[in-house]
Structure 1
Amino acid sequence: TLDENGEAMHKSKGNVVDPMEVVQRYGADVVRWWVVSQDFMEDTRCGEHLLAQVSEMYRRVRNTFRFLLNNLYDFDPTTDAIPLEQMEELDRWVLSRLAQVVAACHTAYEQYAFHRVYQTVIHFCTVDLSAFYLDVLKDRLYASGKTWPARRSAQTALHQLASTLARVLAPILPHTMEEVWDHLKMEAKPESVHLADYPQAGCVDEELLKTYTQLLEVREAVLAGLEAAKQSGRITNPLESLVRLRADATYYPTLAARKGSLASLFIVSQVVLEEMEDGEESAGTKGLQVEVEPAPGKKCARCWLVLPDVGIHADHPLLCTRCVQAVSSALPIEG
């Protein structure tokens, strides 16, 4: 192990890293996290700056688990779980991605390529979960009725994410994953995560993954449009925006089939979707035109979306229809 500059460690140079000091400062799991971040087939480097970076990556993973567990406080998988075929499409997508992660990490463990486990999990937690799935999911988790199928579908996915990732990372982060395991409700749960089997990779829906690759391309174009509108002063908060989206034949069928969920996917209040004419040019992402403007209507005091139906219910003049149904324990209107 070399120092951060690639030089051998010597007491005379003052560049020696004492593992026990690192354990006392960051915890034993962060030391283990640093170990697996290194490709041991090459010389490894260690120093204050590198340990701080690894500690930040550990914090991101821990915060991901914190979000998962915090949103399972009222969820019992034995009574509340939704069968896979009845789950929301976005939840089925993340479980397909999870299956890919499990398979990739299993292969890496078998090959003693522990740094690939580290890279795979970091990418999944930061890109797929924190930057996309969990961000989109907040509205459904917080604004839906407590027992609505859509919310239970989300919680079913969160439970599978937490229980599966805990077993994947148990060999690397034993103390943290034991803590996660203690907070999980599970029928016939082993006393310790280290007594549980490594998870089996579930089925991967390749067609669904392909569809969401396209949807994520559209989302990136919309996010760029929202940022431009914010910078120009046309909007102050993307959540209160209306997005006018024109798409060509490459994107339109996929978007039209999910028209009702596009606002949630883009984290805006309203979306208007139109099909581009043949030969019509687009700026930015080819095949897409994005225009952003303030959404018409009033801001719901509960979900914070700007919608035209806010105020039409006399008993709850500050809420939208969905939130009125949620606070009155009514089932949501289909579609």
Structure 2
Amino acid sequence: YDEQTNEPLLNEETIAYVQGIIAEKGSDAWWELSVEELLPESYRNNGKTYRKGNDTMDVWFDSGSSWAAVAEQREELRYPVDIYLEGSDQHRGWFQSSLLTSVASNGYAPYKTVLTHGFVLDDQGRKMSKSLGNILEPAIIIEGGKNHKKEPPYGADVLRLWVSSVDYSSDVPISQSILKQLADVYRKIRNTARFLLGNLHDFDPAKDKVPVQELPELDRYMLHRITEVFEDVTDAFESYQFFRFFQSVQNFCVVDLSNFYLDIAKDRLYISAANSPRRRSCQTVLQIAVENLAKAIAPVLCHMAEDIWQYLPYQKSHQSVFESGWVKLDQQWKNPELAASWSSLRTIRTEVNKVLEKARAEKMIGSSLDAKVLLYVKDQQLKQRLEAMNPSDSLSGNQVDELRYLLLASQVELVDSLEVIQTATYSAESETIALGVVNAEGLKCDRCWNYGPKVGTIAEHPTICERCNAALAGNF
């Protein structure tokens, strides 16, 4: 300030000079250097005397003007930027000061979108703070604490998975018990990916991939589910609703793949001849599923995604999952009518599984393949649909879209009366069907563990069934 007039000395030359000093010596230079040392040469002997100002500038001004220093001046960034991201305490802080300085200078906001999130809470619902000593350090979550039993190393992916799992629009809890649950989800996703990769070991998409129109119904239904799941994941990322990504991927891996499709697929993958259509069609779906799964989880589970990509057992179009682009979905995979039909079939499967589980728990059967399922269908249209899926010859049709494979039973019989169901030891009834579980007929095949009346009748292979005999000949 001018000592006589009290006018501020503030212009481009003086600001640039002080800026250079602070760039070299740090902000303490303002307090350590004399007035003369802080003035450019032309102001040191101009007949005026000056004093240093001790006013405090708004503490938010420096970050509030970062749009100018960071975004506007750098070629690799854009101004206004896409998004400002901070906690809910910044509505009167950074968000506000950035808005005021940008609008005052240029007439518009420095950001296109603002996203605010809550605070992290401990397992007792208290906000984490240094004074309470309840902070869960990210480094300890990733690398583990001194006592690995109490604070195990979860790795960066599990921490990132926790971030994606919470609804950040409000305060979010974190604790060792929550991290343990997330680690279990992480392992389920990883184990699903391992199964997919393990069953693609002899699959080359260039020559083994089956065209969509030639796939069985079950496989085309799964392609429809893949489009539904990954379209939802895409929308979740674009709308910053990361918890939807978490829910969709978890349900896809556990409910759609592990508990349903892969459970049914094991017979095709393990029993059939290597090049059989029923096996190659299944591998076609597995290849599409694993590649899109890796791409979809890459923004969150980045290490797992790259691991999956590096273990793809065939020639890849890109060396890294991060070079491969986003999920690739074919619109011809969409089939809402087929999806509605298979949704009903999955409901029947769920009802049958409950009865099978009860029979297994009470030692009537060891596995579902020890059973024969009896079905009484009340709706005539549904009955016709199920009859078409239940051929008497085990080697007819495509050997995929059949009730015995859907229900994982050695045999399925559609009966004409409820009385037959009531004779079964284990039974149940719903609005659409009644079902019973009895012991499977015939002998157990040593190779596929299915029971059948033809086991023991094949001269060359008396301990296996007709399906396995055909598979050994390359015909199943």
Aligned to 2:80: none
Aligned to 1:289: 434
Structure 1 residue 256 corresponds to structure 2 residue 387: yes
Summarize deviations over 1:89-110 as a string: whole Å, max 9, x none. 1111111100001111111111
Structure 1 residue 10 corresponds to structure 2 residue 151: no
Specify the SS of the correspondent of 2:172. coil
The alpha carbon displacement at 1:231 in A equals: 4.3
Q: Following superposition of structure 1 onto structure 2, how do residues 189-268 of structure 1 map, counting pairs within 5 Å?
A: 189-203=317-331, 204-248=334-378, 249-260=380-391, 261-268=402-409
Aligned to 1:76: 204
Tell me, in whole angstroms, the C-alpha distance in 2 between the residues paired with 1:232 and 1:57.
Answer: 30
Q: Say if 1:214 and 1:251, in contact at 8 Å, map to a contact too.
A: no
The alpha carbon displacement at 1:88 in A equals: 1.8
Q: Following superposition of structure 1 onto structure 2, how do residues 106-255 of structure 1 map, counting pairs within 5 Å?
A: 106-187=234-315, 189-203=317-331, 204-248=334-378, 249-255=380-386
Q: Say if 2:428 and 2:436, in contact at 8 Å, map to a contact too.
A: no
Specify the SS of the correspondent of 1:302. coil
RMSD: 1.9
Specify the SS of the correspondent of 1:251. helix
Q: Say if 1:241 and 1:293, in contact at 8 Å, map to a contact too.
A: yes
Specify the SS of the correspondent of 1:290. strand
Task: List alignment gaps of at least 5 residues for structure 2.
Answer: 1-119, 144-152, 392-401
Moved over 2 A (4+): 10-15, 185-188, 200-203, 227-237, 274-277, 280-284
Q: Say if 2:201 and 2:313, in contact at 8 Å, map to a contact too.
A: no
Higher RCO, Cα 8 Å, sep 6+: 1
Cα distance change, pair 271–172 in 1 and its aligned pair in 2 (3 A): same
Q: How many residues of Structure 1 are paired with residues of Structure 2 in the alignment? A: 329
Cα distance change, pair 29–283 in 1 and its aligned pair in 2 (3 A): closer
Tell me, in whole angstroms, the C-alpha distance in 2 between the residues paired with 1:75 and 1:242.
Answer: 34
Aligned to 2:472: 327
Specify the SS of the correspondent of 1:189. coil
Specify the SS of the correspondent of 1:235. coil
Moved more, 149-158 or 225-234: 225-234
Specify the SS of the correspondent of 1:316. coil
Moved more, 102-111 or 285-294: 285-294
Q: Which residue identity does 1:121 align to in structure 2?
A: V
Specify the SS of the correspondent of 1:95. helix
Cα distance change, pair 293–188 in 1 and its aligned pair in 2 (3 A): closer
Moved more, 221-230 or 166-175: 221-230
Aligned to 1:310: 455
Tell me, in whole angstroms, the C-alpha distance in 1 between the residues paired with 2:176 and 2:142.
Answer: 13
Specify the SS of the correspondent of 2:413. strand
Moved more, 207-216 or 280-289: 280-289
Q: Which residue identity does 2:216 align to in structure 1?
A: E
TM-score (structure 1 length as normaliser): 0.93
Tell me, in whole angstroms, the C-alpha distance in 1 between the residues paired with 2:316 and 2:188.
Answer: 30
Specify the SS of the correspondent of 1:259. coil
Specify the SS of the correspondent of 1:10. coil
Percent identity between the two aligned chains: 39
Q: Which residue identity does 2:128 align to in structure 1?
A: M
Summarize deviations over 1:12-44 as a string: whole Å, max 9, x none. 544220111111101111111111111221111
Q: Say if 1:297 and 1:310, in contact at 8 Å, map to a contact too.
A: yes
Q: Say if 1:240 and 1:305, in contact at 8 Å, map to a contact too.
A: yes
Q: Which residue identity does 1:65 align to in structure 2?
A: A
Pick aligned residue for 2:169 from 41, 50, 60: 41
Specify the SS of the correspondent of 2:283. helix
Structure 1 residue 20 corresponds to structure 2 residue 139: yes
Tell me, in whole angstroms, the C-alpha distance in 1 between the residues paired with 2:440 and 2:347.
Answer: 23
Tell me, in whole angstroms, the C-alpha distance in 1 between the residues paired with 2:167 and 2:359.
Answer: 43
Tell me, in whole angstroms, the C-alpha distance in 2 between the residues paired with 1:178 and 1:252.
Answer: 46
Q: Say if 1:250 and 1:287, in contact at 8 Å, map to a contact too.
A: no
Q: Following superposition of structure 1 onto structure 2, how do residues 265-276 of structure 1 map, counting pairs within 5 Å?
A: 265-275=406-416
Cα distance change, pair 131–47 in 1 and its aligned pair in 2 (3 A): same
Pick aligned residue for 2:188 from 57, 60, 63: 60
Q: Say if 1:247 and 1:276, in contact at 8 Å, map to a contact too.
A: no
Q: Which residue identity does 1:268 align to in structure 2?
A: A
The alpha carbon displacement at 1:273 in A equals: 1.5
Tell me, in whole angstroms, the C-alpha distance in 2 between the residues paired with 1:171 and 1:152.
Answer: 30
